[in-house]
Structure 1
Amino acid sequence: MTPSLFYFVFLSLLLHFVACLEFKGTLFTYHNSTRLTAFESGAEDSDKAFIFLEGLGDGYNGVPYLGVLNDAVTKLGYSLYQIQTTSFYKGYGASSLANDAKELDYLIGYLKEHRNKKHFVVMGHSTGCQDSYWHNKNGQYRKDVSAYILQAPASDREWYADDFPGWPEHLKLATRMREEGRGSEWMPRSISEIPVTADRFFSLYSHGGDDDVFSTDLTDEELDHLYKDVNQPMLAMHGEIDEYYRSPVDQMVILKRLQKACPAFKKIAVIPGATHKVVSPQAQTVLVELVSSFLDTIDNS
């Protein structure tokens, strides 16, 4: 299959499965001053909350496996929360991991106080994995979260460097803007059509940026430093054919390195036939089986 045909088929499948997603539940505002909302489905009367964090550019119903995931966690007595943050859709360029984690804490605090939730699990897709990592290390309510699940923890830096030949010059500009005290200003549209500040560009695409926690060229010492004080249990899952994973390093190799640096990674897996958003129904079945078995160990520990 030629690359162009592959991506046509991939896009067609993705659009089909996303279009079929439909949920019944409750939409509510969890933080009034910022007008942030969340959507709850599944076992709404349960005291167990499963919070899902989207990746860059995504919003509600952003991945095609949410339907089967909702069914799986409902069977285990969880309600599923899709959370809107400032980073929703094209807003990520003006936000940060720290802000995402703060808004996740807003939701957890709201659920504890107003919806009688007592047990929390957080799952991140793509850059939502960075959010999960950051909250595990720095979040106000991190000790209230029983576990974190990371799906498609690919390196934004390695993807950008592979896709954009002008990456070194782009990074030089972002670095210079930060050194000049202009980190909160926008990068030129010629570099990014989506508004992104120099600070967030640096975070996403520089070696050592806040978002640079899954790159395959990080040293053992860097990984040890990054994952110090990351203590709550985690499951990490790569997709076998993730189109955003651009390293020649075998995916299981980097997962094992992460696990060595951070024993909180209790389970790691590479899902056969899974793309970045896990379009294939067969791969989705494996994903929810991994999530369900992991939750069983957490709930029974």
Structure 2
Amino acid sequence: MSSSASSDSSVAPPQPPSATSGTLHHVAPVSAFEVTTSTTSSNLLLWIGGLTDTYHSVNYVYKLAQSLPPTWSLAQTNLSSAGNGFGIASLSQDVNEISSLVAHFKDTGKQKVVIMGHSTGCQDSMHYFASEDKRGDRAQVDGVILQAPVSDREAMVKDMDEKEYENACKTAEQWCKDAKGEHILPLNLTVSMFGRNPITARRWVALACDGGEDDYFSSDLPDQKLQTTFGKINKPLLILFGEEDEYVPDHVDRKALVSKWIPFVKGKVDEQSKELLGGASHNLNGDPEEVADELVKRVGKFLDTV
């Protein structure tokens, strides 16, 4: 989900101006900003944001960057889907762009690269492992972190009027059947969820409809589906699921959901994954300092084992 896409009145106010020193890596058509640290790093944590996220939209990223183990640095991606671009993008496009960044960092000397998804960045991270590598050039990563792996579909059902949701899904699915999947949906169908951001019929189906391309974390997915998603992760995994994530419906048992996912993973799942991130909202903006401190501690401990 987006850090700010919902029309919920509880959305945090705009953040004040800020600045961070680092290196901007441009790998056309995308970029990644590597935060300057006090040590020279040989490994990289590549952070991938959610819908509407851009540089500095999620506060904990820069605290995390300054608190990683000595051999690690952090770079935040800026994909074509960042900001308002998500509605005409796709997970497959994101994965190709992420792969180009991973390859760049490895080519320029990084020994290990771990990808860390936040929100819909978690769907990107899952797609990195679960989808077919049609081009045959997907760069290998050395681990994955999922922070706020929340179902877009369930969040949208939770936040939208039932009839509005059903009408939008019905229209989008019909447009896709009519070969109009790349057409932008009428604003009256999408404004309650995504404001004035343009979104294609294809992307709406991917995000909102049962079985869509983005539907990796819904609580009602059967085991056979999880076998083809979590069952494809063959690298070390850390899950950071927020105890107070506002996009998770009340009926979902968060801890039980994570426990349901873990047995399918082929790689080693960090034991810290079994405990929810106490007091954590979706992106931690505005949360007590100790919540971000706990996230930083868990990530550092995980990276020490990769």
User: Which residue matches 1:167?
Assistant: 165
* Pick aligned residue for 1:277 from 283, 288, 293: 283
1:1-301, aligned counterparts within 5 Å? 11=12, 15=14, 18-19=15-16, 21-31=18-28, 34=29, 36-43=30-37, 45-73=40-68, 75-113=69-107, 115-138=108-131, 144-165=140-161, 166-192=164-190, 193-264=196-267, 266-267=269-270, 268=273, 269-279=275-285, 280=287, 281-298=289-306
Secondary structure of residue in 1 paired with 2:262: helix
Secondary structure of residue in 2 paired with 1:145: coil
Match for 2:294: what amino acid?
V
Displacement of 1:48 in angstroms is: 0.9
Displacement of 1:7 in angstroms is: 6.2
Match for 1:124: what amino acid?
G
Secondary structure of residue in 2 paired with 1:228: helix
Q: 2:130 touches 2:229 (CA, 8 Å); kept in 1?
A: no
Displacement of 1:168 in angstroms is: 1.1
* Segments ≥4 residues shifted beyond 4 Å: 139-143
Match for 2:127: what amino acid?
W
Displacement of 1:141 in angstroms is: 6.5
Q: 1:119 touches 1:144 (CA, 8 Å); kept in 2?
A: no
Displacement of 1:157 in angstroms is: 0.2
Match for 1:288: what amino acid?
V
More displaced stretch, 260-269 vs 78-87: 260-269
Displacement of 1:211 in angstroms is: 0.5
Match for 2:23: what amino acid?
T
Q: 2:100 touches 2:139 (CA, 8 Å); kept in 1?
A: no
Match for 2:53: what amino acid?
D
Match for 2:279: what amino acid?
G
Percent identity, aligned pairs only, is 31
More displaced stretch, 86-95 vs 260-269: 260-269
More displaced stretch, 248-257 vs 139-148: 139-148
More displaced stretch, 176-185 vs 225-234: 225-234
User: Which residue matches 1:3?
Assistant: none
d(CA) in 2 for partners of 1:112 and 1:99?
20
Spell out, residue by residue over 1:70-104, the C-alpha distance to the aligned partner (whole angstroms, 9 max, x if none). 1122x332121111111110100111001000000
d(CA) in 2 for partners of 1:173 and 1:54?
28
Higher relative contact order (CA 8 A, sep 6+): 2
Q: 1:21 touches 1:67 (CA, 8 Å); kept in 2?
A: no
d(CA) in 2 for partners of 1:51 and 1:240?
24
Q: TM-score, normalised by structure 1?
A: 0.88
Q: 2:25 touches 2:33 (CA, 8 Å); kept in 1?
A: yes
Displacement of 1:264 in angstroms is: 3.1
Count the aligned residue pairs.
283
d(CA) in 2 for partners of 1:184 and 1:147?
33
Match for 2:112: what amino acid?
H
d(CA) in 1 for partners of 2:75 and 2:227?
32
Q: Which has the higher helix share?
A: 1
User: Which residue matches 2:3?
Assistant: none
Structure 2's unaligned 5+ residue stretches are 1-7, 191-195
Match for 1:56: what amino acid?
L
Spell out, residue by residue over 1:160-197, the C-alpha distance to the aligned partner (whole angstroms, 9 max, x if none). 01111211111010110010011111111112221111
Q: TM-score, normalised by structure 2?
A: 0.86
Displacement of 1:40 in angstroms is: 1.1
Spell out, residue by residue over 1:139-169, the C-alpha distance to the aligned partner (whole angstroms, 9 max, x if none). 6676631111010001100010111121111
The CA RMSD measured in Å over matched residues stands at: 2.0
